[in-house]
Amino acid sequence: MSREPSPQDRAKRAAAEEALTFIESGMKLGLGTGSTAAVFVKLLGERVKKEGLKVIGVPTSIRTGELAEACGIKLTTLNHAGWLDVTVDGADEFDEELRLIKGGGGALLQEKIVACASDQMVVVADQSKQVRELGAFPLPVEVVPFGWQVTQALIAETLDDFDVGGDKIGLRLFKDEPYLTDEGNFILDLHLRRIGEPEELATALNLIPGVIETGLFINIADVVVIGREDGTADIIEYVEDEDDE
Ligand code: 5RP
């Protein structure tokens, strides 16, 4: 039995529908992970089936690949595609400079690789993801299982030097076992509450040997499509201040 769409469902759909306006026949697309990206994949599949839209997708997780296949979207690997036109993906938070926290769904590594191999990254999100300052959402950091507790200790030490609002770190679990990413790694969730210097923190965390990647996406997103509960959507593009260059 299908349930009535919630206001948040309507907002996600509005964002996904608007994101379709960035897609043209012949494009190579990165397909994101998460509930909002999944709505986009389903709508894209409808256009492929009904209108014969010709696109080829590179999924950012096993589950997105399975969904896209079920929706009739042709898939390839990133190696085979080489470079992509547009990636459409969700976010856990975004700020006014379109800096993101991603990885709530555990797919941050492939998501970052795919987004960085694209001419354009379009983020689909509902209004709840828009924040003044990043960090209320716990920052996911993908780490190698080998020696992960030492890596966690090094992360904790690194946090001491940063302007953040909290320092609790939790190993992400699934059914009481460490959650495993598609690459077989662990995720540490950093409960920072507030991240004063996202760029600097991302750089410092990436220097720790056991850290594979962080969920901070800086200078990667080009556009955020915000879906609203009334079914409308707004497009936000970040235009860099000339003085900042
Ligand atoms: C997965 C992600 C997702 O894009 C993010 O968690 C947002 O998901 P949702 O659209 O379900 O809120 O980064 O790793």
Q: What is the pLDDT of residues 78-128, one digit of tens each?
A: 999 999 999 999 999 999 999 999 999 999 999 999 999 999 999 999 999
Say whether pLDDT at 244 is over 80: no
Q: Kindly report whether the global pTM for this prediction surpasses the value 0.85.
A: yes
Work out the average pLDDT over 21-46.
98
Sequential DSSP letters for 149-175: HHHHHHHHHHHTTS-BS--EEEE-EET
The DSSP element (H or E) to which 240 belongs, if any, is: none
What is the model's pLDDT at position 204? 98
The DSSP element (H or E) to which 228 belongs, if any, is: none
Cα gap 83→58, rounded to integer Å: 10
Three-state DSSP at 42 gives: helix
Say whether pLDDT at 245 is over 60: no
What is the model's pLDDT at position 243? 66
30 in contact with ligand 1, CB cutoff 6 A: no
Say whether pLDDT at 241 is over 90: no
103 in contact with ligand 1, CB cutoff 6 A: yes
Domain 7-131+219-233 annotated CATH 3.40.50.1360: yes
Say whether pLDDT at 185 is over 90: yes
CA of 162 to the centre of ligand 1 (A): 26
What is the model's pLDDT at position 66? 98
What is the model's pLDDT at position 240? 74
222 in contact with ligand 1, CB cutoff 6 A: no
Residue ranges, CATH 3.30.70.260, the chain: 139-214
**Candidate of 35, 41, 124, 128 to mutate for ligand 1, largest count of ligand atoms within 8 Å of Cβ:** 35
Residue ranges, CATH 3.40.50.1360, the chain: 7-131+219-233
32 in contact with ligand 1, CB cutoff 6 A: yes
Work out the average pLDDT over 206-229.
98
CATH topology of domain 139-214: Alpha-Beta Plaits (3.30.70)
Q: What confidence category does residue 239 fall into, taking pLDDT thresholds of 50, 70 and 90?
A: confident
Say whether pLDDT at 164 is over 60: yes
- Nearest-CA residue for ligand 1 atom 10 is 36
Say whether pLDDT at 59 is over 90: yes
Q: What percent of the chain has pLDDT over 70?
A: 97
What is the model's pLDDT at position 242? 67
Contact 86, 226 (CB under 8 A): no
28 in contact with ligand 1, CB cutoff 6 A: no
In ligand 1, the atom with minimum distance to the C-alpha of 32 is 4
In ligand 1, the atom with minimum distance to the C-alpha of 107 is 14
